[in-house]
Amino acid sequence: MTWLFFAIGLVLGSFFNVVIWRIPRGESIVFPASHCPDCGHTLSAWELIPVVSYLIQKGKCIHCSRRISWQYPVVELIAAIGFAYYASRGLTWPTLVTKLVFFSLLLVAGAIDLKHRKLPNVITIPGMVIGIVLALIGWSVPISASLLGVTISGGLLMVIVLITKGMGMGDVKFVGLIGAFIGPWPALGSIFIASLMGAVSGSIYLFITKQGRKTPIPFGPFLALGALIGSEFFL
Ligand SMILES: [Zn+2]
């Protein structure tokens, strides 16, 4: 069961990479088939094998030698390890499915924000709706908690964003998504954990480089991590 889900995570991780690459560029996630963004060479079946193909090709396109981002094997491995971890915990099917959907959304949104400094609506809004639907059919938190999660946690972050101007509306919708899945208090806990991690990382960055950042650190990856930790502690 665990290894099966490890394999499923690898394959889905490969799909997540396509989503992470194409969504911020406004491209379709279905067409065309996976190809090298530089020379346009369409990837053959063996080049689509997660992680393994990256290692065989030594991280380069076999046609034009363009470097393939290490994001690809890393996202595939994180997805595989996450899927295996949740599958190994003996959860009921509804809880397992909910956790896997939540984890996948956090991974994709966090990676897009890390790379592109944006949290696209096409991820956060459908994600929020999925969270509410899963609560409605009784697969996650009670529906009241899910709706309060969207409104209270999302609303609180909106106030913070309006006051500090340090984050954007993408972060607000992302917190709404988190609240829809885990309810208001765990979502607030996630924001708190994310803020702590963000502050610590910012200080370390400042200490190492001895200079401030001109561009702000994206908050999405910290929110994703905070929500993963939060969902383990509070649920
Ligand atoms: Zn190429």
Ligand 1: centre distance to CA 104 (Å): 28
Residue 116 has pLDDT above 60, yes or no: yes
Ligand 1: centre distance to CA 35 (Å): 8
Ligand 1: centre distance to CA 77 (Å): 23
Cα separation, 177 vs 128, whole angstroms: 4
Ligand 1: centre distance to CA 44 (Å): 12
Ligand 1: centre distance to CA 59 (Å): 11
DSSP states along 14-59: HHHHHHHHHGGGT--SSSS--B-TTT-PBPPGGGGSTTHHHHHTTT
pLDDT on residue 214: 62
Ligand 1: centre distance to CA 106 (Å): 30
Q: Taking the model in full, what pTM does it have?
A: 0.93
Ligand 1: centre distance to CA 80 (Å): 26
Residue 26 has pLDDT above 80, yes or no: yes
Cα separation, 134 vs 11, whole angstroms: 24
Cα separation, 66 vs 163, whole angstroms: 44
- Looking up tokens 């963004």 gives 37
Residues 131 and 177 sit within 8 Å (Cβ to Cβ): yes
pLDDT on residue 29: 87
Work out the mean pLDDT of the chain and round it to a whole number.
92
Ligand 1: centre distance to CA 47 (Å): 12
DSSP states along 57-100: TTTB-TTT-PBPPTHHHHHHHHHHHHHHHHHTTT--HHHHHHHH
- Looking up tokens 């930790």 gives 229
Ligand 1: centre distance to CA 69 (Å): 12
Residue 132 has pLDDT above 90, yes or no: yes
The string over 22-38, giving b where at least 16 C-beta atoms fall within 10 Å of a residue's C-beta and e elsewhere, is ebbeeeeeeeeeeebee
Cα separation, 109 vs 218, whole angstroms: 11
Ligand 1: centre distance to CA 66 (Å): 6
Q: How large a percentage of the chain has pLDDT more than 70? A: 97
Ligand 1: centre distance to CA 55 (Å): 16
211-223 per-position pLDDT tens digit: 666 666 789 999 9
Average confidence (pLDDT) over 79-103: 96
Q: What are phi and psi of 14, to 5 degrees?
A: -65, -40
